[in-house]
Amino acid sequence: MVTRRRAGLLRGTVYRVFYRLPRKMQRFLARRVSPKYILGAVILLFDADGERLLMLRQPPGFGWGLPAGLIDRGEAPAHAAVRELREETGLSVELKPANPSAVVHVGGRWVDMVFTARVDAETHEPSVDGAEVLDARWHRLDDLPPLTPASAKLLSHYGIGPYSEALGEPVHD
């Protein structure tokens, strides 16, 4: 059995050797032993009154979700959110971080950076391509359509949707 002192000495030796390696080798090793995370950008786009939320129906069409997508390597999360919103809905909107601004999903391997905005729904009508997004509509927060499980779970962090009862009052924008 390794004592606590011996484990500390061993760990210290490993770190000293690691930090003497060339920078490229350090990065290579760190990427091989570090956990991998998928980073996504999600947008909570509310109407001006905060009573409706823009929802999307995407293939295969089994529920409604939020405008969202993966963050490209080296891309700022805010830029990814703006890009995804524009690609999926044709809308260009100034976004700000939601509160909470990051949601770590069960299993800890997926992290969503969440952004929000309020816009006039009458002047911000989404347009969809029919391929990546089948439909985009404004839905009342108290009458949401059937949601994808991922969207329902994410919205619960903001006191919205079918899983929000335990959280109490909505905390959105």
For residue 2, pLDDT over 90 is answered with: no
Instruction: Write out the E strands in 8-134.
Output: 38-47, 52-57, 64-65, 68-70, 96-104, 110-119
Q: Which residues contact 28 (CB under 8 A, 6 or more apart)?
A: none
- Helical packing angle, 4-20 and 23-33, nearest 10°: 130
In this predicted model, which residue has the larger pLDDT, 53 or 21? Answer: 53
Instruction: Write out the E strands in 33-109.
Output: 38-47, 52-57, 64-65, 68-70, 96-104
Instruction: Give the mean model confidence (pLDDT) for residues 156-160.
Output: 93
pLDDT at 90: 95
pLDDT at 55: 97
**Domain residue ranges of the chain, discontinuous segments joined by +:** 4-33, 38-167
- The predicted-structure confidence for 88-118, as pLDDT tens digits, reads as follows 999 999 999 999 999 988 776 889 999 999 9
Q: What token pair was written down for 81? A: 């959110």
pLDDT at 31: 79
pLDDT at 71: 95
Q: Predicted confidence band at 166 (pLDDT cuts at 50, 70, 90)?
A: low
Among 15-19, 76-80, 125-129, the range with the most confident prediction by mean pLDDT is: 76-80
Please give the mean pLDDT across all residues of the chain.
88
Q: Which residues contact 94 (CB under 8 A, 6 or more apart)?
A: 117
- The predicted-structure confidence for 47-85, as pLDDT tens digits, reads as follows 999 999 999 999 887 899 999 999 998 999 999 999 999
For residue 17, pLDDT over 50 is answered with: yes
CA distances from residue 156 to 56, 149, 151, 164 in whole angstroms, order as listed = 17, 11, 8, 4
CA atoms of 84 and 24, how far apart (whole Å): 33
Contact (CB, 8 A) for 102 and 113: yes
CATH number of 38-167: 3.90.79.10
